[in-house]
Amino acid sequence: MTTLPPRPADPWRRAWRAATGNIPLAVGLFLLAFYLLLLAWIPQFSPGPATTDRWLVQTRFGPWTGTMYRLGLFSLAGSPVISVLLSLLAFLLFLRAAELADALRSRLRDRDTRSQWWAGMFPLLACLGVLVLLGGLLIGHRWGWREEGLVGPETTSFPGHDKGTPRSYLIGFGPALTIRATDDADRPLKLQQTARESAQTELVLYLTPSAPERSFAIPESGLVVRLGVRGALSARSPILVEIFRAPGGERVQEATMDEDQFSLTVDGVHLKISRQPYPLLALAHDPGLWLKWVGLVLGTIGLVGALSLGGQKGRIPGFLLSALSVLVAGMAGYSLATRGGLGALPFQLEASALWLVGLGVWLVRRKEG
């Protein structure tokens, strides 16, 4: 009897099995976790960061600062890296969802495994939930808009943002500075921000994320004062006060304002600055907001269910990873409800990265088990 040679495996089937396996998805989760850690550890600047921020970065990273700027590590938040990573994740999850749906259909057809349909439902629900969430992110990015760092409770219209009714979110508080200057005889001196504006005896300046530095002149004394936030902007941020002599630009004095009341005397000019907090608002129109909520809820239910059923197959206990999943989902939901974004809370990026790493390890160990 002639023995037929073994039939070679279908290359398309091998590619399908590789793409729907745990290893590619785990690698994608590890890459996304690494990206989130970079965002958490490296300050992210919009184009043209403030001078004080540049000095702080130079102090923190030393000789590596120039290389990091060239590599674009200070502008990762606006780079296409996140789009590539999320697109890769969506592709792998779509293939995985198709594989899980086919396995669930086969299980429902088989009388012996029909009673265990829920064991295959939770992984499928987790994949579908994340896909819906990613779809909401895409719709919001493509057809939505967001303006941050707005001062005051009033809503403002922006050119090109006339579609949809925006929602307002309180994202924090910033410092409002009230400034007065007097001479030795306690007579008020005029203050002037720009040559086009009239001089006045009192100025109120708002330091915002888009304008963390403000300047004004004291024409009668020939002095120019520059005020800038040190570090992250908040109502209690230290304020760097620099005084220059016009028109030469010689710096006369420098000090840091840490308290609510600040005074400084230079060349017979008595400068007094008081600080008050003001609300920082964000306006956003997000047509994908409801999809984000649906995806977040469905994905959390499916993932917790899948981890609870298969948690003993990996070295990371399923209960601990389920608890971390609920924590990360809760932080994302709270951030979405209060600030209109998924990653706006302190330590949320670090917690999300830890969760992604744990989930990736769970997938790898589950495959090995």
**Cα separations in angstroms, 55 against 42, 51, 65, 66:** 14, 6, 10, 12
pLDDT of 369 reads: 41
The pTM of the full predicted model, rounded to 2 decimals, is 0.80
Answer yes or no: is 210 within a domain. Answer: yes
Answer yes or no: is 54 within a domain. Answer: no
**Cα separations in angstroms, 69 against 47, 81, 122, 232:** 12, 16, 44, 19
Two structure tokens written together for 350? 């670090």
pLDDT of 77 reads: 84
For tokens 């259909």, what's the residue?
Answer: 105
- End position of a domain, from candidates 236, 262, 283: 283
pLDDT of 164 reads: 67
Are 292 and 349 members of one domain? Answer: yes
Rounded Cα gap, residues 97 and 91, in angstroms? 10
- End position of a domain, from candidates 283, 309, 324: 283
pLDDT of 51 reads: 45
Can you give the pLDDT of all 369 residues of the chain as single tens digits? 455 555 556 778 888 888 889 999 999 999 999 999 999 888 877 654 444 455 556 667 777 877 888 888 888 888 899 999 999 999 999 999 999 998 888 877 876 665 567 778 999 999 999 999 999 999 999 999 998 888 865 555 555 566 668 899 998 899 999 999 999 999 999 999 987 888 899 999 999 988 889 999 999 999 999 999 987 889 999 999 999 988 777 899 999 999 999 999 998 999 999 999 999 999 999 999 999 999 999 999 999 998 887 544 444 567 889 999 999 999 999 999 999 988 878 899 999 999 999 999 999 887 544
**Cα separations in angstroms, 150 against 172, 174, 210, 271, 279:** 10, 10, 9, 28, 8
Domain that holds residue 255: 165-283
CA-based R_g, the chain, Å: 28
255 Cα distance to chain centroid: 32
- End position of a domain, from candidates 239, 255, 283: 283
pLDDT of 189 reads: 95
DSSP state of 76: G
pLDDT of 64 reads: 81
Answer yes or no: is 171 within a domain. Answer: yes
Are 351 and 296 members of one domain? Answer: yes
For residues 248 and 235, the answer to whether their CB atoms sit within 8 Å is: no
